[in-house]
Structure 1
Amino acid sequence: MSSPSGLSLDPVPDRFHGELRRLLEDFESACRELDAGVASWPSSLPRVWVASEFVARLCIRRPRVLAELVEEGTLERPLAAGEMAARVSAVVEQAEDEAGLMSGLRSLRQREMLRIAWRDLAGEAELDETLGELTDLAEHCIDRAADWIHRELAGRHGEPRDAEGRPQRLVVLGMGKLGGRELNFSSDVDLIFGFPSAGSTDGERPLDNQQFFTRLGQRLIRVLDENTAEGFVFRVDMRLRPFGDPGPLAMDFDTLEDYYERHGREWERYAFIKCRVVAGDREAGRRLLAALRPFVYRRYLDYGAFAALRDMKAMINREAARRSRGDDIKTGEGGIREVEFIGQAFQLIRAGRDPTLQLRGIRPVLRRLSERGLLPAFATEQLIAAYEFLRRTENHLQMAQDRQTHRLPESEEARARLAFSMGYEGWPAFERELSRHRRRVHEHFDQVFAAPQGGGQGDGAGEDNQASLAAVWAGDRSAERARTILSERGFAEPDTALEWIEDLRESAVCRALTATGRERLDRLMPLLLGAAAETENPDVALRRLLTLVRAIARRSVYLSLLVESPMALSQLVKLCAASPWLADLLTRHPLLLDELLDPRSLYAPPDREGLIRELDEELEQVPGGDMEQVMDRLRQFRQVQVLKVAAADIMGVLPIMKVSDHLTWIAEVVLERVLALVMEQLRARYGRPRCVVDGEPYEPGFAIIGYGKLAGLEMGYGSDLDIVFIHDSAGEEQTTDGERALDNSEFFARVGQRVVHVLGTFTAAGRLYEVDTRLRPSGTSGLLVSSLTAFEKYQESKAWTWEHQALVRTRPVAGDGRIAEAFGALRRRILGICRDREQLRREVREMREKMWQEHASRDPQRFDLKRDPGGIADIEFMVQYWVLAHACDHPPLLDYPDNIRILERLVETGVRPEEEARFLTDTYRAFRNRIHRLTLQESPAVVDSAEFAEEREAVRALWRRVMEDGGGKAMDRMNRIFED
């Protein structure tokens, strides 16, 4: 057998050689005395012992432990899955009494802590292995000890049962690093005890369940925590339980839920982020955590968490300063706690709406935040690197003496040992690296948690301005002085502005605010007043902003968002000042305020593929089968995307044609997803539709045909959806194949009805789209869903000319690709019929004259851009006439459903001259652009008659040339209509 004193000390700095030799001599003596030799001692022994006096002394006191670890080879490999559990179970099963249980667990703890520390200090274990095995050791000790104590207590008092006689088990919740599977070397275990229901045990000496589980908990704590001659297993901290130390040790689930609903505080929400069932009845524990999830993760974006965590960190900093603990790598500046606060702040704020953020470990959380674009990739990389460095340092500090410390050593000797254990030649090199990591952490922490804007720019004038506006809001200035302040800040009507401000301040909404809500409002209002004053028209901006504040004040989390984020407040003021339509959208749907945080995203609406990805991500967060949540998420998705388009439009980022493209893509993506969801639901209930066509089995499909602006990629902000539903079921045996079979026509009718319901129903999140299905065959008197065959027959034999005009502007927008292809062919066939052009001209003209009579304005001073003569409808009717009149000879006219590209085809085919088509294209775009602008100002599509006068007259002149019925009779009729 080898002699430990023969190990080479070369890898260890000379300054440690003398002490190492003395330790090795003591170890050699202990080995001889206890006959604990091995064939070869690990060459890493000198390195490990220099780093950890705890390991060295334990080896000398119990050399056989080290010998066994060497012989079984576990110093050279991590434990396999289940191996730690088996080791703990073997010890617990051998225990005949509580004293034996305590002794066995303490011996096991020493052995495993020696092994874990050895592998870490020898450089054999990654951080994940060290943290994971420490967590496994604690979790299995807690679980198996609790089970052993339960059996012993149940043998004396009977099994605890609820009122229905169902057996009850203790549920142990692991908090903090235990819950997050990140336990450090000398960590406490933070626990909460619960049990499912009240009741009593069924033995001869019964206890109620509260007593039974309290006793179980007390004994479990003693078994783990009591410091005997053999040490302890894990220190147990129960202070995170409801009401802390004075509270009951164990509580039933109803009482726990009631506590968190009534009394739960922000720091308890923070604590529960990492919470995990670590022992006892795990299934019951999962039910408890599911019930508590709404307490931890709010369904709205909870920006109040920033202030709460900032206050918590300030308290920690004050305590650290009081104890002179600036060298604390856990709670000090740039320490472990700051990394955790960054990740967990985003979880508290967002994870209720984004369940993918409901993770326990801090590194997975940071990575997910980066994936979600909530943290820059470089920040995530730096935070993770710093966290791993700090956690390794923390473990090495604790492994040195098996002491629960986070403070950097003060003595030169201890510093040299720590630096050596971390792989550095000396303390200065280690300290530089540590300082670099801590500086980066604190910089990122400050970026996330910087105290909200105070309004000043660092100069006295800015601070005075902010203070004066705060005084105006608070009512601390005389009315005359307040008006002067507002006037000096640029308000044109300070009397009216002050009246609005006072009206909000004294409103029932503000008087009903909680203390927290009032504090947040008082912090926001001076910022809001100052920002409004910087706009082009402060009075208009203020009016819109105060309306929004009144609407959101009761949900003070939105006030926090605006206080905490200067960028969000800036974008809000900019958008509200620019558009009452946007101000109203944000007022009705304050969830959209979150989109204002990142202008890069706000002013960059995604393309069609990007929309699909974003909607997929949004709906992935909804529990399966929760159609109510799906409907809300669809509405929120549409609102977010329309907000982005409108913001980009207002700021001039998107040209008008691109605005319509994006609005149309949003509708298409929503329609595709709604149809897919509805089909999935109905197939699950009734089976898949089947039929037999020409003797072959066929699964028919369903498609949505878009008409008008939807088909022509010309949607505006207020556009509804003109759609028609078509299926292609035909032949024989037309039924679904489920247990509750339906005729295919009934199945598809239900698909159509359900699609209309999902799109058009108002929920708490509003309505998706207003739907118009009147363009289907026979209009409102016809079937909601037509077969492809019936649709074709109707178009061939019953459709009016105006219905063929409408068919020009159609295309499939969602559903079965086979139907889309068949519909395209059908459309070309119907529109390509050779027509009597004079009859066609008369019918188109008469329909337009009827529209003039019913819908055109009568005010000669105003011009309705859509309906009046010379407006958009005239252009559209002429384009449709040209397509119907000439498609027989020029099939390329049927390639597209939108006016712009049809006009291009009219030039290419020689049907119309280029100059004329260019004029119509430019005019059509100008009219549509003006309508978009008016919509964003919440104004009707009507302008002064002098605006576009030349374009309007030119369109009317072209209409006369193209559509008149000889001698200008059509124009005469139109003039008579307006005279009447």
Structure 2
Amino acid sequence: MAEPRIQTASGRLARLGFGDAARAAGVVESLGLDEGLVGALAATADPDLALGSLARLAERDPRVVAAVAADTGLRDRLFAVLGVSAALGDHLVRHPEQWRALQGDDAVRRPSAAEARAELLEAVGADPAEAEPRASGDGALEALRVAYRGRLAHLAGRDLTGAATQAEVGAELADLAAAALEAGLAIARAGEGGSGLARLAVIGMGKCGARELNYISDVDVIFVAEPKPGADEAKALQEATRLAQGLMRACSATTPEGSLWEVDAALRPEGRSGPLVRTLQSHLAYYRRWAKTWEFQALLKARPVAGDPELGERYAAAVDELVWTAAERENFVEDVRAMRRRVEAHVPRDEAERQIKLGPGGIRDIEFAVQLLQLVHGRTDPMLRRRATLPALAALSRGGYVGRDDARALAEAYDFLRQVEHLLQLQRLRRTHIVPPGEAELRRLGRALGYRADPVGEFTARWRRHALEARRLHEKLFYRPLLQAVARLPGDEARLSPQAAKARLEALGYLDPEGALRHIAALTSGVSRRAAIQRTLLPVLLGWFADGPDPDAGLLGFRQVSDALGTTPWYLRLLRDEAAAAERMSRVLASSRYAAELLLRAPEAVAMLADDAELAVRPRESLAAEARAAVQRHTASPNQDAENAVAAVRALRRRELFRTAVADVLGLLDVEETGDAITSVTSVAIQAAVDTAIAKVEVERRGPLPTRFAVIAMGRLGGGEAGYGSDADVMFVHEPLAGADERDAAGAAHAVAEETRRLLARPAPDPPLTLDAGLRPEGRQGPLVRSLASYAAYYARWSSPWESQALLRACFTAGDAALGRRFIELIDPIRYPPGGIDDAAVREIRRLKARMEAERLPRGADPALHTKLGRGGLSDVEWVAQLLQLRHAGAEPALRTTRTLPVLRASVALGLLAEEDAKVLAEAWRVASRIRNAVMLVRNRPSDLVPTDARDLSRVARLLGHPPGSAGDLLDDYRRATRRARAVVERVFYG
């Protein structure tokens, strides 16, 4: 009959949630468990685990079954522990007398810190009443572990049945850890047997210091010692160090009862490289002179936990002063952000999504946000000086630094994540923060949290919801207090004083904090939807602006863009939903006045910031097609509108310049790609202007143009190396049609050239494009436009070495492509002479270069800092490349290019230039070009000089990727690169 009964029971147990129902039925029958006990086991997180542990415990102490049948409180606590923690189940089986701690009135009473200390000291044979308790007995380490885990089981019984809050659990665990440290110190003293030369205090750090400890965690400590009166300091510190080492071994050593946890003293001055024990004065001297920002953030949690209480309190009081002035340190915010990035970077990518501590939206996100706000505002508000996270968050909310809803959401997320953390660690009493992927493990977690219908689904959904909210609020709360200084928030929350807000803005790097406050007030005042979105965005944006070279300009630009687009529905959605777009806009506005000005002329361009693909440089063919369509829309109508046609093309150019500038600022383009992009859109604009000018001239002449017309790009435009502030160097060429009057053809061509220049340079909201024809034959004294035959006659008779050199950059850019090709065919023998140039021409070029260096450098300019004409600058590199072309391109087609860097590369391949020399020249060219572009981006004014103004230099350096305070490194890099390049120029160019 037993077998059918077990089979029937097995089916019932399977329905109750037992995984191995057949085995469970046999155990239930052998233990004689009634329906009530079976139901209670089935309600645990892991019924099979709970039943198995109960069976093993009953083998050691059969009275436990009757006890749980008679005492529902004991049953609930014991079964909850056994269903969650295999490790505590094993411990109770080894020490069955300890299950009784879960029985009776004491089972629900929280012991005091003093009671925990006394119990563990007694366990190791020390007298709690002694001023310097001494341990005795060989089994002290094992006794400590047995007593400690008994207290853990007692606490877990209350924790898992809801009799203790998470805050109470963390505080009791910290008290228990402090008691274990005290007992470990007693063991160390007994082993030392010395003369008692030193007073030693143990300072709890991290979660132990904050009284929010986990079940299993490294316990962070700092040791501070003082010699007793009359004792030698060196000997006293040696004794204190031995005691500290003994304490650490007492807690960390592995015994048959396992270990407690690692005692980690790495937060001490100089970390693991520094002495384990220091005097109080030595600690303070280090913190005042050498400590980094993160060390003060760590000291926020410091609390005496064991050893000499008076010395510990003196230490805490002394470092407290330093902690609450840390935010006044230079680069405080940058240091805190850098530490956050380092923490996140150390999380393995495959673990990040399951990391409840360090992953996105994890425990560290919440703690980090709270600690930063504490450190910033705790200087003036003592109510914020709390060690534990939840009390500090509550104080921030009461003080108006964090909105009530935000504080509540963060507290709920923190409480949930800490519960999960405890459940993960309780199972094996191992330090872990990773949610397991397995279905069974997730089911156990969900059931332990009280989810019954769908434990896995409910747990996962709640976890993800809390993580997303915690991450969002983590980003938001970095700068939330600034908003409360200027705008009354929902619920009429308290404000910061204007003085405190101003100080905070100054700490972030705003040079005009009062102006910044006015902008913030204008953006966030009122109850409109727009103001609500700005209130949500600005806390993060203010920090992003502060990350840039010019926070004030960033905030001003944001206000201006928002004033222009704030009521546009898509803009509001973009700000709310696309964090990447908001971050990029902040970075661009705080980095580049040039880009900001382009954006303000057409704020709708902000839409392209949401997607990397939108910032990719568009192909020239695509731009040309768009420009042609714009021209045709305006010139195909009876009222042919040349100005509006070219205005549309200039707007296209402005948009593409903005796209390029943004990609440049964000580091998505290198200097060669930037030059390509600017050259491409400039050429497209010139072509569109030529098409429009031809159409207009034909209307005015009432007939087709009697000549072909082309524009030849010269200089940096011809070289594909145009910069943001570059004029477009060009030459105009025409070729009369068969039978046309040459004078009439020349007049028509001149009219087209002048109209093209006028259309591109006329006042408009878009950047003007000046066509500079100064490199034409005879310069500004010669005709603006020449016929192809005239060019041929001039170059045959009058061409000089400098003109041959200038033609090295010439390429067709707009107008009649066939004419452009014929012009290039005409000049190729001039710029690429078949036999190369003779020695006299080389001497003439060298003489011209030396004269240019002497005469064209602006008065007072530092030759070492002029990116174009200075020593080792652009001109130096380009003249080397061009001399190589003039000498060898006639015989070497690989040298026939208008671009500088390809000439250098080809020269190396042909054995005309040493590879190392080419690298040195190319590096100087890139550095000078990048700085030249960066100056324009930062100042919105072209300049060939490396800035000497400290603010401008700092902004250029930041834009180019140098960290704050390292503008001098930019100067050093530039001087080093150009000095090396000049040495190559002296040797290769001048001989």
Q: Structure 2-normalised TM-score?
A: 0.45
Q: Structure 1-normalised TM-score?
A: 0.46
